[in-house]
């Protein structure tokens, strides 16, 4: 008898009706109507509660990978040193992405069925390599492992590493995530997993140190973070805002917050 593994889908498996209903609304022009800006500000505030951060959040139109690429391209120049910590497919993939941008990358692999645990090895790599950025994945989707990031944030802070970049697309809303307390400078998320909205929105919580890096690099492109630093103050977004996607993302986050994160 042949047995097959149970198929595990990262999500969303089901989208709540109130989230789907957002796509039936005739919203106006997000470029012109003040209501959109109020909506964006509300969504940012809700995401800040979800991520336990006071940092400004860039909410972008695109699937979660947009946030991963945009944060790297916005903060790295060729030759910058990146220490990538890998416990699976996405951790190693981030290292490949950084290499593709011309960064000098050191990959420290722990294995797909393990979590970050050898902190002495991490500390030694940081001391020897002196990276500008450390990258890690909070929850590795294919292996289902959850990495303890509090210690990594402490190492980053104590060692004076400028930036900590964390892919939390799979974990946001499903596990405690203390962005500020864990010293995460670039917290990357998407709408399509625990949040349970369609895969049309991505977002990045950007620390003051990360904004300095963004200004240093001055990257211009569809996925660039720089325009979002002033987009709300100037009510000028870099491309046509996706009001329906913003509404769906916000509704899904409000459902999580209303249920209570401990209950979720």
Q: What is the mean pLDDT of the chain?
A: 94
pLDDT of 241 higher than 90: yes
Rounded-to-integer distance, Cα 134 and Cα 111, Å:
18
- In this structure, are residues 204 and 58 in contact, taking their beta carbons and an 8 Å threshold? yes
Asked whether residue 5 is assigned to any structural domain, the reply reads: no
CA 192 remoteness from chain centre: 12
Give the Cα-Cα-Cα angle 198, 141, 219 (nearest 5 degrees).
70
Residue 9, domain member (yes or no): no
**Angle at alpha carbon of residue 250, lines to 247 and 251, rounded to 5°:** 85
Q: What is the DSSP letter of 221?
A: S
Q: What is the pLDDT of residue 143?
A: 80
Residue 1 inside a domain? The answer is no
CA distance 72 to 214: 10
- Give me the pLDDT at residue 3, please: 66
Vertex 63 angle, CA 214 and 96, to 5°: 60
State how many domains the chain has.
1
Distance CA 86, CA 84 (A): 6
CA distances from 171 to 43, 48, 84 (A): 18, 15, 19
Assigned domain for 8 exists: no
Q: Is residue 246 part of a domain?
A: yes
Q: Which domain holds residue 45?
A: 17-259
Predicted confidence at residue 139, as pLDDT, reads 93
Q: Is residue 67 part of a domain?
A: yes
Domain assignment present for 254: yes
Is there a contact between 85 and 108 (Cβ–Cβ < 8 Å)?
Answer: yes
pLDDT surpasses 80 at 4: no
Picking from 96, 72, 95, the residue whose alpha carbon sits closest to that of residue 84 is 95
The domain that holds 153 is classified in CATH as 3.40.640.10
**What pLDDT, in 10s, does the model give residues 29-44?**
999 999 999 999 999 9
Q: Say if 4 falls within a structural domain.
A: no
The predicted-structure confidence for 56-111, as pLDDT tens digits, reads as follows 999 999 999 999 999 999 999 999 999 999 998 899 999 999 999 999 999 999 98
pLDDT digits (tens, 9 = 90+) for 112-163: 888 998 999 999 999 999 999 999 999 998 888 899 999 999 999 999 999 9
- Please give the pLDDT value at position 30: 93
């Amino acid at each position: 008898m042949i047995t097959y593994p149970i198929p595990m889908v990262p999500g969303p498996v089901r989208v709540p009706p109130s989230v789907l209903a957002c796509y039936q609304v005739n919203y106006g022009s997000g470029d012109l109507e003040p209501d959109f800006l109020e909506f964006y500000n509300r969504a940012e505030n809700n995401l800040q509660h979800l991520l336990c951060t006071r940092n400004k959040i860039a909410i972008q139109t695109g699937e979660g990978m947009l946030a991963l690429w945009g944060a790297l391209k916005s903060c790295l120049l060729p030759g910058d040193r990146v220490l990538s910590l890998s416990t699976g497919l996405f951790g190693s993939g981030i290292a490949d992405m950084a290499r593709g941008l011309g960064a000098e990358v050191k990959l420290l692999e722990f294995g797909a069925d393990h979590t970050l645990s050898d902190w002495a090895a991490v500390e030694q790599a940081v001391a020897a390599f002196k990276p500008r950025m450390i990258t890690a994945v909070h929850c590795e989707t294919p292996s289902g492992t959850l990495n303890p990031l509090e210690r990594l944030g402490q190492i980053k802070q104590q060692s004076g590493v400028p930036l900590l970049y964390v892919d939390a697309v799979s974990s946001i809303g499903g596990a405690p995530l203390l962005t500020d307390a864990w010293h995460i400078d670039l917290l990357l998320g998407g709408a399509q997993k625990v949040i349970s909205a369609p895969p049309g929105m991505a977002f990045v919580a950007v620390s003051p140190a990360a904004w300095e890096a963004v200004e240093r690099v001055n990257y211009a492109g569809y996925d660039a973070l720089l325009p979002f630093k002033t987009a709300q103050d100037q009510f000028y977004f870099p491309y046509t805002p996706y009001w329906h996607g913003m509404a769906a993302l916000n509704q899904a986050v409000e459902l999580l917050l209303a249920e209570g994160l401990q209950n979720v």
